[in-house]
Amino acid sequence: MKTIDLSHDADIFMESILKMSDKDLLSVYKQRSDYQPLFIEMVENTLTLKGYDLANADLEHIDAEVIKKKTTEELVEIFTNATDYAIGFSELAETELLTRGYDVSSLLVERTDNKKVLKAGRPGRYITVGYIIAFLGGLLALIMGINYACAKYTSVSGEKFPKYDTATRKHGKRILVLAIASTIFQLIAYAKSY
């Protein structure tokens, strides 16, 4: 008869549980019939230790449950930096802050400023090098020009922002045009030499 080593399973389960977010743990608990009883028991114990009241938890709205457990400082962070969090978290954080009696109107300026910084993009660091490489032509210059001209940053919430500021994007387009012209010129010169 084969014996089952529950301590080994428990170790593996605990390793997985420690890597899971509260949202993931609540999702597993919500779908507990799909998992092994020992794993569910360990998830339930972990959630209870984290302060979740599973008897009264709204498992249909897991994000709201997670938001309720956040500190006011964490909620302020989520509200003011909405692009760093999943879609909908900012609105849930705002609702929870209002429930706690926090004046969110004082945070709107900071939230707007944070979004402006993301929309502005950052300056490119190697623009001069890009022009030199573009003058020499080749694939590296094309890649550098395309990167500076077109690169986008996708936030956690799914919003897309330009990776570089307006000046860098203009330089990127110029580098790209120069690289294309230089490469064509070099190909023509190479073809004529044969």
Q: Measure Cα distances from 45 to 25, 51, 57 in Å.
A: 11, 10, 14
Can you give the pLDDT at residue 4?
52
Give the pLDDT mean for 43-72.
82
Task: Please state the φ and ψ torsions of residue 29, each to the nearest 5 degrees.
Answer: -60, -40
Mean pLDDT is lowest, of 43-57, 98-112, 175-189, for 98-112
Over the stretch 16-30, which tens digit does the pLDDT of each residue have? Answer: 888 888 888 888 888
Contacts 24+ apart (CB under 8 A), 180-184: 180/142, 182/134, 182/135, 182/136, 182/137, 182/141, 183/137, 183/138, 183/141, 183/142
Give the pLDDT mean for 94-105.
83
